[in-house]
Amino acid sequence: MATIQNPTPDTNLTDGMHIVVDALKKNGIETMYGVVGIPITDLARHAQEAGIRFIGCRHEQSAGYAAQAAGFLTKKPGILLTVSAPGFLNGLTSLANATTNGFPMIQISGSSDRAIIDLQQGDYEGLDQMSIAKPFAKASYRINKPEDIATGIARAIRAAISGRPGGVYLDLTTALLASVVDKDAADKTLFAPVDPSPALIPSPESIDRAMKLIAGAKKPLIILGKGAAYAQADDTIKEFIEKTNIPYIPMSMAKGLLPDNHPQSAASARGFVLENADVVVLMGARLNWLLSHGKGKHWNPNVQFVQLDIDGMEFDSNRPIAAPVAGDIVSSINAFVAGLATTPIKASDDWVKAVNDAKIPNDEKMKVKLNNTDLPMDYFSALNAMKKVLDNYKDMYIINEGANTLDDGRNVIDMYKPRHRLDCGTWGVMGVGMGFAIGAAVTSGESVVAIEGDSAFGFDGMEIETICRFKLPVTTVIFNNGGIYNDSHVDLSGRGDPSPTTLMADAHYDKMIEAFGGVPYFVQTPEELSKALEEGIASKKPTLINVVINRTCGTESGHIGNLNPKVLSNK
Ligand code: ADP
Ligand code: TZD
Ligand code: MG
């Protein structure tokens, strides 16, 4: 397909930008998130004209978080569109987060003149983007020729959603976008890959080995991870858990795979089950720091692991896995359910009772905390005021970030539907909230409640304008305790500077949304909070609720203060 330099008026022509849009459409891409500028502004316009929704955000990082939320919810790669160099770099954190979390996403970025970049001659926004993206992406490609556009996009899609999903970088040079070619020839290159996310059928031996190990366990436990949520095997997972009566705990983004009020949920006896379980079945969950690597005082030292994962490289990463099952969760769980006919599994009544007994004191303690009536509110009384409302909206998408706001929010707010909770994830990253809220609202067309620490919100707060511009039904709730973790009020500078953790406790974040025509609330009591939340949800209007939280009640780093390096004196 020759590039046409001097077209005659009657030639049927197209250009690189249009071919990219045609190829995306051919692959069923319906939405793009991004920030425009040289050289991709027209690409966004063409996409919009062709029926692809373009959600213009205020920062590429938020746009990337929106895209990967869409990827997690739909199993189709979310698309982030960025300009060269700084825009590309702004998006890169989100791409890395997608790779780390196993969310499928493609960052498509325009790039400047290769010849000038490679000779370091100082092009406008010149940067060797593809090389920089490589360590942060599952795969990284550049398309140089218009006849390769369809192939490049197919490769990016396959890389994003086959095996363990992840972030993919796709570099489009300015020359490529501007290349003019014959339209009929270009149309012939378009295709959608066949079966881009192929099933990975586990071997019968691996299923048999795993089921025998579980069947012989005295104290089995299932841990559901976000890989299981992503796989969309909801009914079969429920069937396996209910038929075997094995207690389970959900990792944060697997909450709702089974409703959190399910009798087999051992979430409130988490410490007890980890310390006691003799066989743990990891379903789409890694044994990383979130599970203290499967080691140490939190775990039964003699525990044996079954692990269901699509990525064979994951096994033995932290602890030896006695029964690895390499397969996609849909296929593996189907095989498990079928295998129950020959290898029946039933958790013993003694174990189930012990787990249920362990829940009782913890549930009681939690009740006391939730019913605290002190003012200003603390995390638990504020979350309780929200829970009372949210329990009536079981389809609600919940976004959650912060430290205490995250950790306490995860424990208090019950989820009832799979893939309805998005949070700081594997990296514990701040700044995902507004992007995730946008991605969830756009993708689902449903309402979203974002529960945000005041610091966490600050990373991407300007996206409130995006939420208002697109009239998204997002209620943002800011737990304002005046700081990162809390407001320690210790001035070590001797010059009146705020402490490193201090933010403005008397800030009126609610005023921000007023500037964009959204609905503001400033609340100080549980009653006011419940009422504002109810109204925000019912109105479906962009709403922001500034919740006054006691400045002293947050703990340093939330539940993971132990990960801070030990210092000689603690200020
Ligand atoms: P969590 O943080 O919830 O514990 P992780 O992100 O650590 O979950 O682990 C998710 C795991 O799920 C990853 O190891 C990933 O390879 C795996 N995974 C993702 N999708 C699938 C799938 N469709 N089938 C099987 N495993 C999957
Ligand atoms: N920057 C990024 C991108 N991610 C991070 N996790 C941090 C910084 C460090 N950090 C945390 O780990 S939690 C947090 C920061 C800055 C904010 C906690 O304050 P908050 O929540 O107001 O959001 P709470 O309720 O006050 O604990
Ligand atoms: Mg805070």
Q: How confident is the model at residue 570 (pLDDT cuts 50, 70, 90)?
A: low
Of all atoms in ligand 1, which is nearest to the CA of residue 254? 3
Q: Point out the ligand 2 atom lying closest to the alpha carbon of residue 428.
A: 6
Tell whether omega for the bond before 418 is within 30 degrees of 0, i.e. cis.
no
Instruction: Name the superfamily (CATH) of residues 13-189.
Output: Thiamin diphosphate (ThDP)-binding fold, Pyr/PP domains (3.40.50.970)
Mean pLDDT of 166-175: 98
CA angle 350, 355, 358 (to 5 degrees): 125
Lowest mean pLDDT among 47-61, 381-395, 483-497: 483-497
Query: What percentage of the chain exceeds 90 in pLDDT?
Result: 92
Q: Whose CA is nearest to atom 2 of ligand 2?
A: 430
Task: Express each pLDDT in 112-123 by its tens digit.
Answer: 999 999 999 998
Q: How far apart are CA 425 and CA 310, in angstroms?
A: 19
Q: What residues form DSSP beta bridges with 108?
A: 81, 170
Q: Which ligand is nearest to the CA of 309?
A: 1
In this prediction, residue 261 carries a pLDDT of 98
Q: What is the DSSP letter of 318?
A: S
Strands 31-34 and 78-82: parallel
The DSSP line for 360-395 is: HHHHHHHHHHHT---SSB-HHHHHHHHHHHHTT-TT
Distance (Å, rounded) from C-alpha 237 to C-alpha 241? Answer: 6
pLDDT in tens, 43-57: 999 999 999 999 999
The tokens describing 411, both together, are 């424990």
Looking at the CA of 482, name the nearest ligand.
Answer: 3
Residues 6+ apart with CB under 8 A from 95: 64, 80, 105, 107, 133, 136, 137, 167, 169
Q: Is the pLDDT of residue 530 over 70?
A: yes
> Could you tell me if 249 and 299 are in contact, meaning their C-beta atoms sit under 8 angstroms apart?
no
CA distance 58 to 63: 8
- Intervals of CATH 3.40.50.1220 along the chain: 204-357
Residue 10 has pLDDT above 70, yes or no: no
How far does the centroid of ligand 1 lie from the alpha carbon of residue 493, in Å?
45
The sign of the torsion formed by the CA atoms of 323, 328, 333, 336 equals negative
Task: Give the span between the Cα atoms of 288 and 470, in whole angstroms.
Answer: 38
Does ligand 1 have an atom closer than 6 angstroms to the CB of 227?
A: yes
Hey, what are 534's tokens? Answer: 């109810």
Tell which residue, 283, 242, 285, has the closest CA to residue 265: 242
3-state secondary structure of 480: strand
Beta bridge pairs of residue 549: 377
Which atom of ligand 1 lies closest to the CA of 200? 24
CB-ligand 1 contact for 439 (6 Å cutoff) = no
Report residue 223's pLDDT band, with 50, 70 and 90 as the boundaries.
very high
Mean pLDDT, residues 476-485 taken together? 97
The per-residue pLDDT for 560 is 86
Q: Which of ligand 2's atoms lies nearest the C-alpha of 430?
A: 4
CA of 480 to the centre of ligand 3 (A): 6
Q: What local confidence, expressed as pLDDT, does residue 91 receive?
A: 98
pLDDT > 60? residue 361: yes
| Residue nearest atom 9 of ligand 2, based on CA coordinates | 430
User: Is 4's pLDDT higher than 90?
Assistant: no
Q: How far apart are CA 156 and CA 190, in angstroms?
A: 14
At residue 231 the predicted structure's pLDDT band, cuts being 50, 70 and 90, is: very high
Can you tell me the mean pLDDT for 147-151?
98
Q: How far does the centroid of ligand 3 lie from the alpha carbon of residue 233, in Å?
A: 36
pLDDT at residue 514 tops 70: yes
Residue from 290, 455, 553 to probe ligand 2 pocket by mutation (most atoms less than 8 Å from CB): 455
CA dist., res. 157 & res. 259, Å (int): 32
What's the mean pLDDT when you consider all of the chain? 96
* CATH fold of the domain at 204-357: Rossmann fold (3.40.50)
Report the nearest-CA residue for atom 6 of ligand 2.
429
Which atom number of ligand 2 is nearest to the Cα of residue 481?
26
Q: In this predicted structure, which of 10-14, 359-363, 410-414, 470-474 has the lowest mean pLDDT?
A: 10-14
What length does the chain have? 571
Residue 3 pLDDT: 80
pLDDT at 482: 96
Interval between CA 267 and ligand 1 midpoint (Å): 19
162 in contact with ligand 1, CB cutoff 6 A: no
Helices (H), 27-142: 41-49, 60-74, 86-101, 114-118, 129-133
Which residues lie at CB < 5 A from ion ligand 3? 453-454, 481
Query: Averaged over 497-503, what is the pLDDT?
Result: 93
C-alpha 39, offset from chain centre:
29
Q: Is the pLDDT of residue 424 over 90?
A: yes
How far lies 558's CA from each of 32, 87, 485, 512, 553, in Å?
34, 32, 7, 27, 10
Which residue, chain included where needed, has tokens 């050289």? Answer: 39
Q: Write down the pLDDT at residue 569.
A: 62
Q: Report whether 544 contacts 463 (CB < 8 A).
A: no
Confidence of residue 469 (pLDDT cuts 50, 70, 90): very high
Q: How many angstroms does the Cα of residue 23 sit away from the middle of ligand 3?
A: 44
- Has residue 486 got a pLDDT over 90? no
Q: Structure tokens of 513?
A: 């949304």
List all residues 6 or more positions away from 83 whose beta carbon is below 8 Å from its beta carbon. 35, 36, 37, 38, 39, 40, 109, 110, 125
Task: Find, among 40, 103, 47, the residue nearest to 77 by Cα.
Answer: 103
Q: Of the bound ligands, which one is closest to the alpha carbon of residue 458?
A: 2
Res 490 pLDDT > 90:
no
Task: Please report which ligand is nearest the Cα atom of 317.
Answer: 1
Longest C-alpha distance within the chain, in Å? 83
CA 526 distance to own-chain centroid = 29
**Mean of the pLDDT values across residues 539-567?**
92
Q: Which residue has the tokens 């000779």?
A: 119
Q: Is 426 in the pocket of ligand 1 (CB under 6 A)?
A: yes
The answer, yes or no, to whether the previous bond of 220 is cis (omega within 30 of 0) is: no
pLDDT at 248 over 70: yes
Pocket test for ligand 1, best of 234, 311, 400 (most atoms within 8 A of CB): 311
Atom 19 of ligand 2, nearest CA residue: 484
Q: Token digits for 251? A: 């990792």
CATH code that applies to domain 371-489+496-555: 3.40.50.970
Peptide linkage before 204 cis (omega within 30 of 0) = no
Instruction: Confirm or reject: Cβ of 137 under 6 Å from ligand 1.
Output: no
Q: Kindly report, residue by residue over 277-319, the tens digit of the pLDDT.
A: 999 999 999 999 999 999 999 999 999 999 999 999 999 999 9
Q: What is the pLDDT of residues 252-284, one digit of tens each?
A: 999 999 999 999 999 999 999 999 999 999 999
Residues with CB under 6 A from ligand 2: 402-405, 428-431, 453-456, 479, 481, 483-485, 554, 558
What strands, in cross-sheet order, belong to the sheet with 248-250?
248-250, 220-224, 279-283, 304-309, 323-326
Centroid of ligand 2 to alpha carbon of 457 (angstroms): 9
What SS3 state is found at 246?
coil
Ligand 1 atom showing the smallest separation from residue 327 Cα: 25
Encoding tokens for residue 230? Answer: 């992503």
What residue ranges of the chain are covered by domains with CATH 3.40.50.970?
13-189, 371-489+496-555
Q: What are phi and psi of 464, to 5 degrees?
A: -55, -35
Residue 433 CA to residue 351 CA, distance in Å, equals 39
Task: Please indicate whether residue 251, judged by its CB atom, sits closer than 6 Å to ligand 1.
Answer: yes
pLDDT of residue 196: 98
- The gap from C-alpha 501 to its chain's centroid, in whole angstroms, comes to 26
For residue 12, what is the enclosing H or E element? none
Question: Is 80 exceeded by the pLDDT of residue 489?
Answer: no
Give the number of the ligand closest to the Cα of residue 163.
1
CA of residue 407 to ligand 2 center, whole Å = 11
CA of 427 to the centre of ligand 2 (A): 12
